[in-house]
A and B are shown apart, each in its own frame.
Chain A
């Protein structure tokens, strides 16, 4: 599938189509996760009819891959109405949820509506650790019960384990829990600043010693061999740094358009402009689209470039969308250390 997917993404990029859109339906949430970057107040969410209009516009613009997320999207009382509408427009829908509101009947509806994947955040295999992170007693048990409901319907469930200092050693337990539930597992060590720029959350990032342990853990990386980083690839210099703004974008609950959920560069608002106008003519998106690897003064000559997963959004949040992202620099350095360790073992 990956080569076909590459073909599709390449085609979308060539045609400048927003094939992948992350749409947060609400920032309201019934959990209060300690690492969350969102403000959970409702500052005027798009109404049901406004969301439907946005979905019409996205379908017309060529969007296929649609992530509905939040906040907790099931707090919207019109959630199933919106999901049904999205599926009638033939979007490929994935949901990101804490799942604690999902009961058996909801799982049946989600399955019947043709959702392709449900991603559920689980922070630990130990209920007390998970609940301390979400600040909601009983949330672990409810999320796990929901995963069982979803799996019973044959749905694909992805357990997302965000790593932070509070749960740094627990990922093997979550991985085993996912396997036991028949769910997929993904690990993410990325903690981002709050959307208002507050960087206090970054203190929760796991230390490099733990990151090194993750990058050398065979249960996560298997026996794959990563080649040592080579010289900067001159042919890649004309490539876009990532798909944000090229074939993907983000829609906030208030209709704001950003290049990506992790790239909070305000690029237009759907209450004032049509999506197509923002996508085609926003100065901000045009600026993002114009950036090529050769335009990154530090990263284009970095010796770790070929194995780096630089996020332009994180770089933007650090003050320069053409600069490095220190979190990714750290990850790349540790990844290279891990590669050396794996090579010698």
Chain B
């Protein structure tokens, strides 16, 4: 499978509340709430770490899931967020200019 890279989309607001990430789009006021897995992916969406590495390092150790299934699910998930312009998804590393501000660490 080709490596995928993910970066947070532009013109978004976001905050991590406990294990959830709340995201708001400036363009259409769309509101999204990511669960714990989504929050891990969002936090790691630096544009340069391959999705497979994120899954291997962050998802698999925390959840009882095999790597291939986890990557398949994660790929589907990030592509869905890509469709909503929440994430930029690319088969190449994504430059800093394309990235939104990083949200703060979890606050509780």
A residues with a Cβ closer than 8 A to B are 1, 4-5, 7-8, 11-12, 15, 17, 19, 59-64, 87-93, 114-117, 154, 156
Contact = CB atoms under 8 A, between A and B. Distances in A.
B33 A92 contact: no
B26 interface: yes
B29 to A, nearest CB: 6
Contacts of A5: 31
B18 A11 contact: yes
Contacts of A114: 10-13, 26
A289 to B, nearest CB: 16
Contacts of B100: 90
A8 B33 contact: yes
Contacts, number: 71
B104 A4 contact: no
Given A62-B108, A115-B26, A90 B102 contact: yes
B24 interface: yes
B61 interface: no
Which 10 A/B pairs are nearest by Cβ-Cβ distance? Answer: A92-B13, A62-B107, A114-B11, A64-B15, A114-B26, A116-B26, A90-B101, A92-B24, A90-B103, A88-B101
B78 interface: no
Given A61-B107, A87-B101, A90-B102, 5 more contacts: A4-B31, A11-B18, A17-B108, A62-B107, A64-B22
A186 B10 CA distance: 29
Contacts of B7: none
Output the residue of A7, A11, A12, A116 with the most chain B CB within 10 A: A116
A30 to B, nearest CB: 27
B24 A62 contact: no
A117 to B, nearest CB: 8
